[in-house]
Amino acid sequence: MIQAQAYAAKQAREALAPFSFERRDPRPNDVVIAIDYCGVCHSDIHQARDEWGGAIYPMVPGHEILGKVTAVGNAVKNFKVGDLAAVGCMVDSCRSCESCKEGLEQYCDEGATWTYNAMERDKKTISQGGYSSVIVTDESFVLRAPKNLDPAGVAPLLCAGITTYSPLRRWKVGPGMRVGVVGLGGLGHMGVKFARSFGAQVALFTTSESKREDGLRLGAHEVFVTRDPSVFEKQAKSFDFILDTVSASHPMDAYLGLLKRDGTLCLVGAPEQPIDVSAFTLILKRRSFAGSGIGGIRETQEMLDYCAEKNIVSDVEVIAMNKINEAYERVVKGDVKYRFVIDMKTLSQ
């Protein structure tokens, strides 16, 4: 077995603390990765604190993982020792259902094996994530990381990046389209970058005037501060697509009203409370209200390759591992621009 050092949640609402555990020895198809950087996703906080229910403790969070390959199984074909590699939100799936066969493992009919807070396919082993020194993953769920980009900025692409890239590609966002992005956080700032790079006319919707300058810097052509209710009236029926990244409760009908006939609002944020939507807001303009998760492995690799070509990374604040609990509180307060990333070399400090 491989000894791993980590930070873990032992119980809901307890601070994360140092934790040691064992990873499996590499199987024929496994890749062993010494972790250099791991992004901090708001979902890490939700799960560590059992805010979504079903938490499995002890829990090592982290699904935005980047590091160097230190060993490979004897059947591994696509990676070698020394390669820069990445692991995202999932580490396995059934591989036989319709979704898996189409490269959409995130929608596996049996349920994907998530990188942490899940049971592996043997139904006995708890999956543990990237706030750790090492990870062992089947090569089918390991990604080739760009070599030409800041590695700390690459790590959040494994969740924040693909979560926004996937729906923008799915709905064919591109030139000639007016696209709205709701919220400028870890997800929203990537949504703005991608939508702009795809050639769309991009508008940011935010509740904070202080984010206007950043929104424009990141690529938005326009910024609308929604504390002014006249924004929704003035911009009504003028958007082809809206990417909604907000996880707090907000007036969905108001944003749906921004869509043209046949427009789509896609939700990637996850509000805790049920969402109220008026039937007629959808019916009278044949609008669509959709949702999207992460991308499959094939699409995630496509996204990483695209970012390498276009020089796109996340805006990050790099922290030491022992600052994780402070970082959690700052994420909850929205006090980060726009993703924390842990420098795992500080794990032993």
Q: Are 94 and 109 in contact (CB under 8 A)?
A: yes
60: its two tokens: 């090592």
Interior/surface letters 13-51, b for 16+ CB within 10 angstroms, e for the rest: eeebeebebebeebeebbbbbebbbbbbbbbbbbbbbbe
Select from 291, 313, 329 the last residue of a domain.
291
* pLDDT digit string (tens) for the chain, length 349 residues: 999 999 999 999 899 999 999 999 999 999 999 999 999 999 999 999 999 999 999 999 999 999 999 999 999 999 999 999 999 999 999 999 999 999 999 999 999 999 999 999 999 999 999 999 999 999 999 999 999 999 999 999 999 999 999 999 999 999 999 999 999 999 999 999 999 999 999 999 999 999 999 999 999 999 999 999 899 999 999 999 999 999 888 999 999 999 999 999 999 998 888 899 999 999 999 999 999 999 999 999 999 999 999 999 999 999 999 999 999 999 999 899 999 999 999 998 7
CA distances from 347 to 9, 109, 285, 322, 332 (A): 15, 37, 53, 7, 23
Beta pairing partners, 320: 343
Q: Are 110 and 7 in a shared domain?
A: yes
Distance set, CA 133 to CA 34, 48, 65, 310 (Å): 6, 19, 11, 30
DSSP lists the bridge partners of residue 265 as 242, 289
Cβ-based burial of 270 (10 A; exposed 0-12, middle 13-18, buried ≥19): middle
Q: Are 244 and 307 within one domain?
A: no
State the alpha helices, DSSP H only, in the chain. 42-48, 98-101, 151-154, 160-170, 188-197, 212-218, 230-234, 252-256, 279-283, 297-310, 324-333
Clarify whether residues 257 and 329 are in a common domain. no
The residue whose two tokens read 């695209």 is: 306
- Bin 282: left if φ > 0, else alpha if -120 < ψ < 50, else beta: alpha
What is the CA 57 to chain-centroid distance, rounded?
22
Q: Are residues 45 and 117 in the same domain?
A: yes
Q: In this structure, are 311 and 300 located in the same domain?
A: yes
Q: How many domains does the chain have?
A: 2
Same domain, residue pair 73 and 153? yes
Tokens for 211, please give them: 């984010």
Global confidence as pTM: 0.95
Q: Is 24 helix (H, G, I), strand (E, B) or coil?
A: coil
Nearest C-alpha neighbor of 140 from the set 97, 83, 80, 78: 78
To the nearest 10 degrees (0 to 180), the angle between helices 160-170 and 297-310 is 100
Are 145 and 171 in the same domain? no
Half-sphere exposure in the Cβ direction for 271 (13 Å, CA): 15
Of 276, 291, 306, which closes a domain? 291
- Domain extent, residue 276, equals 161-291
| CATH number of the structural domain spanning residue 173 | 3.40.50.720
**Residue 99 neighbours by CB under 8 Å, 6+ apart:** 105, 106, 107, 108, 109
Rounded to whole angstroms, how far apart are CA atoms 157 and 166?
11
